Amino acid sequence: GGSAAPDMSGEMAEEFKSCYKDAWYRKYVLFLLFLIATLQTTDRNIPAILLPKIGPEFNMTDADAGMLNGAAFVFIYALATIPLARVADMCGRKYLIAVSLVVWSTLTSLSGLSQNATQLCFLRVGIGLGEAGCTPAAQSLIAVMYGPSERATAMAVQQLGLAVGTAAANLIGGLLIDSLGWRGVFGVMGIPGYLLAALIVLTLEDPPVEKSYLRPNNGGSGGGSGGSGG
């Protein structure tokens, strides 16, 4: 009885098959996910860098600044993440990631056209909705690319983009705001998302929707009865 559990765990580890057979392609996809995480965090944090310029122009209060700097984004991001994660599970990840990139990149660029704090906050809400689709889809993709022995490392690489994006927001915002103004910085920050979305559409092979999630549950009971019946 004691030896059965180790044998079963060994068999489960051996049975894992990546959705991508080519190890280099897996690294390429992981690099794409790293870039997406970097861009997510850069666009998420750029308003904090631009706020000293935006605030006086729009006569923003502290409450306005709080909404722009996080609350407007986080509220819709938290609400939309779980439903969009289900979309990734049921319908696939490729086009969810691509559409999410286009949505938040477009709204980031449009932020530069805002005429008041209310418009800017509404655009931040839309950006939160766009970004909410990427994280669960990326994690789901990593789960089918890498087995248990490599998955934590792959997720760490992807999550490293969060730290890089925070640094990039400070660097890019600081370098460009004097030459382009805050409106120009928003406009420029939307461009990389379109390039990444194009790469996703053209080069990412979307793994099949995980019907295997259903098989162990149905097959577990069915297999047990079938085994006893046979």
Which tokens belong to 140? 């789901």
Widest pairwise Cα distance in the chain: 78
Structural Rg of the chain based on CA atoms:
22
Tell me if 75 sits within 8 A of 128, measured CB to CB: yes
* pLDDT band at residue 226 under the 50/70/90 scheme: very low
pLDDT of 13 over the 70 cut: no
Q: For residues 88 and 68, give the distance between their C-alpha atoms in angstroms, rounded to a whole number.
A: 28
**DSSP letter string over the chain?**
-TTHHHHHHHHHHHH---S---HHHHHHHHHHHHHHHHHHHHHHHHHHHHHHHHHHHHT--HHHHHIIIIIHHHHHHHHHHHHHHHHHHHH-SHHHHHHHHHHHHHHHHHGGG--SHHHHHHHHHHHHHHHHTHHHHHHHHHHHHS-HHHHHHHHHHHHHHHHHHHHHHHHHHHHHHHHHHHHHHHHHHTHHHHHHHHHHHHH--PPPP-GGGHHHHHHHHHHHHHHHH-
| Ranges 69-73, 193-197, 220-224, 225-229, most confident | 193-197
Closest CA to 99 of 193, 186, 202: 193
Tell me if 104 sits within 8 A of 189, measured CB to CB: no
Q: State how far the alpha carbon of 101 is from the alpha carbons of 35, 67, 96, 183, 219, in Å.
A: 11, 22, 9, 20, 37
Tell me if 98 sits within 8 A of 201, measured CB to CB: yes
Residue 85 is predicted with a pLDDT of 87
Rounded mean pLDDT, 76-105: 88
Residue 227 is predicted with a pLDDT of 43
Residue 166 is predicted with a pLDDT of 92
Identify which has the larger pLDDT, 213 or 142.
142
Q: For residues 185 and 59, give the distance between their C-alpha atoms in angstroms, rounded to a whole number.
A: 20
Say which residue the tokens 């089918």 belong to: 144
Rounded mean pLDDT, 117-146: 89
